[in-house]
Structure 1
Amino acid sequence: MVLTDLHKGETAVVVRLAIEQEALKQRLLQVASKVL
Structure 2
Amino acid sequence: MLIHGVNLTIEEGTVHVIFGPNGSGKTTLVGAIMGLP
TM-score, scaled to structure 2: 0.34
**Who wins on radius of gyration, i.e. which is larger?**
1
Say which structure, 1 or 2, has more relative contact order (CA 8 Å, 6+ apart): 2
Structure (1 or 2) with the greater helix fraction: 1
TM-score, scaled to structure 1: 0.35
